[in-house]
Chain A
């Protein structure tokens, strides 16, 4: 469990280096990624992967909104780091590999799963954005 905590933090932060995130945002990116992955792992035990991903993304989105406000940077910087462990890049590659190996049934199945997960992430991000807007409007 502690190993997962450390690796998800490092993975999210280093991925942000590849995406050239500002230096002063790397720590927050790592935190967002770590929290997202932890929530995902907890939810994944009881629910399906799609729901777990959705829940984790909402949490990541809310954290990113808070970070973006307090550090005055665009939300995308933090949300990218946060959702990187969740995005189905591995699945997309897996689906393509099955296609290349001529295992079409499996391939379509995995591709559908990848698409559903992407949808879950996108929905989660939009939901957290809406929540953020509602919250800030009430404060004004």
Chain B
């Protein structure tokens, strides 16, 4: 059982599937486009296919090992950010190229990573979102009094996104509603006298929702020459920012 070259028990199709699975997990977890391509071709090379090619966009992976093999394609429907999975796939791919594990073992471990759920329980995520919102309110020069309502509002807003996204499949709608709730709560907290500056509270509270990272990744992809990926990530980020802006804007225009 060694993984050098094409050993008899691993067919070309299994190797292609292995690389595709690794690419799929990474792309769904929010890895950079170039990293996905790099990992896939590297894995293929360490399994005896140095001439492998991959083409990755946010919605599809295409992969081929050589000129005679047909191209395999994988469609990606949903993307989140899950750094744990990116890190684990990275680790598996490194061990594979250092020949510490065989292709079969890599396949098994990738399957485990693929099935793994979010490592942090939901209550902890909501608590983290709440703390993030409060901290950002302070960082954007809001007072400590504004941080207190922001703590609750951002937690509720993030919880709303998770909950709503389970009921309605359209992400735009979930984000829009959550932003609306955030706006409403911020408005009332100022009315009641809990906070002073509504703007600071809102800015802090929407930080866990806004696509700041996506925008930066989009620009980075564009600079690296991944034009299709960059533009589609930009469109994705634009849509989220639009949803949040509309949600808050609706509250502001109502009152």
Contacts and interface: CB of A to CB of B under 8 A. Distances in A.
A123 B139 CA distance: 24
Interface residues of B, number: 55
Interface stretch (B7-15, B61-69, B184-192, B245-253): B245-253
A19 interface: yes
B246 A96 contact: yes
Contacts of A18: 81, 125, 128-129, 132, 158, 208
B86 A76 contact: yes
Interface in A50-65: none
Contacts of A115: 215, 219
B212 A14 contact: no
B104 interface: no
Interface range on chain A (Cβ under 8 Å from partner): 35 or more
A42 interface: no
A34 to B, nearest CB: 11
A92 B252 contact: no
Given A14-B129, A14-B132, A83-B216, A97 B210 contact: no
Contact of A20 (B82, B132, B138, B208): B82
Given A87-B215, A89-B206, 14 more contacts: A7-B135, A10-B131, A15-B208, A76-B83, A87-B212, A90-B136, A90-B203, A96-B249, A97-B249, A99-B245, A121-B216, A122-B216, A122-B223, A126-B220
